[in-house]
Structure 1
């Protein structure tokens, strides 16, 4: 998602991945599936098929791990601030992990077109030997919104078409 944040002297954008549920919602889903799986495993165990219990436990551990990793990746944040002289980029999960400052007049937005129409374009802000990937988690519509906002703000855009793929699968 691309959200505008208040900024008195420029444009500030918050880039976040789309996520449909909160952590509590994911926990409720997991607890519901746990209850169903525990009931089924207990029924089979009472019928004499006790070997199902460890597999049910492994299944629930794998599901919990997947939910946790997905929820953790949905906590990524990128804050992009554009003023008259600089473009400031901050990235992190729950707190700022890294940041870059690029001179606005000389920075370029590199837009690598996707190889097929169902993928979003890959974006990166570049200046000399610095290349900062931008919004790698955005979907097609959010990527288009971000490109429009940056273009309207005067950031130069380098568009690169994908290389033709030659091989067995065209």
Structure 2
């Protein structure tokens, strides 16, 4: 998701992954699965199939861990700020963890052309041999929107094909 913010330093864009559901929504889905699983497990327990109960608990634990992991990964944020002379990129989850300041004039933008049409292209900022991944979590439409913003800001987005990798 690409969202424009207003800041004094210059044009600023917040880049975040798309989130289909909030944390409360995830909890509701897990509680519904918990209730259904416990009803079935209790019925199985009453007819003498007690080994079902620990496996139901393991299943619910794995489901909760998956919800937590996915929800945590969807909290990534990148803030891209354009000033007169600099491009600032800030990355983090709940707070700023990494920051780069790149001179606008000498920074290159690379777009890796995907091998499959359903795969979103990956963007990279490059300055003096350092290559920084730019919002790898964006989908195809959001990546195209970000490319249009970068080109509107005067940066040339160069396309490249990465060498083919073996499948293993």
TM above 0.5:
yes
Task: Determine helix, strand or coil for the equivalent of 1:116.
Answer: coil
* 1:114 maps to 2:114: yes
Task: After superposition, give the CA deviation of every residue in 1:86-108 in whole Å (9 maximum; x if it has no partner).
Answer: 00000000001100000000001
Q: How many residues align?
A: 167
| d(CA) in 2 for partners of 1:137, 1:9 | 26
* 1:99 maps to 2:94: no
> CA RMSD for the aligned pairs?
1.5
Match in the other structure for 1:43: 43
TM-score, normalization by structure 2: 0.95
Would you identify which runs of 4 or more consecutive aligned residues in structure 1 move more than 3 Å?
Answer: 162-165
Do the aligned partners of 1:14 and 1:79 also contact (CA within 8 Å) in 2? yes
Task: Determine helix, strand or coil for the equivalent of 1:149.
Answer: helix
| d(CA) in 2 for partners of 1:120, 1:132 | 17
Match in the other structure for 1:124: 124
State the shift of 1:131 in Å.
1.1
State the shift of 1:58 in Å.
0.4
Task: After superposition, give the CA deviation of every residue in 1:94-134 in whole Å (9 maximum; x if it has no partner).
Answer: 00110000000000111010011000001011101221100
TM-score, normalization by structure 1: 0.94
Match in the other structure for 1:62: 62
* 1:72 maps to 2:72: yes
Alignment of 1:140-155 (within 5 A): 140-155=140-155
Task: Mark the CA change 1:55 to 1:29 in structure 2 (over 3 Å): closer, same or farther.
Answer: same
| d(CA) in 1 for partners of 2:64, 2:155 | 42
Task: Determine helix, strand or coil for the equivalent of 1:3.
Answer: strand
Task: Determine helix, strand or coil for the equivalent of 1:19.
Answer: coil
Task: Determine helix, strand or coil for the equivalent of 1:35.
Answer: helix
Match in the other structure for 1:31: 31
Task: Determine helix, strand or coil for the equivalent of 2:106.
Answer: coil
For structure 1, the residue ranges without an aligned partner over 5 or more in a row are none
| d(CA) in 2 for partners of 1:164, 1:80 | 30
Do the aligned partners of 1:82 and 1:88 also contact (CA within 8 Å) in 2? yes
| d(CA) in 1 for partners of 2:60, 2:49 | 18
Task: Determine helix, strand or coil for the equivalent of 1:105.
Answer: helix
| d(CA) in 2 for partners of 1:10, 1:152 | 14
State the shift of 1:158 in Å.
1.8
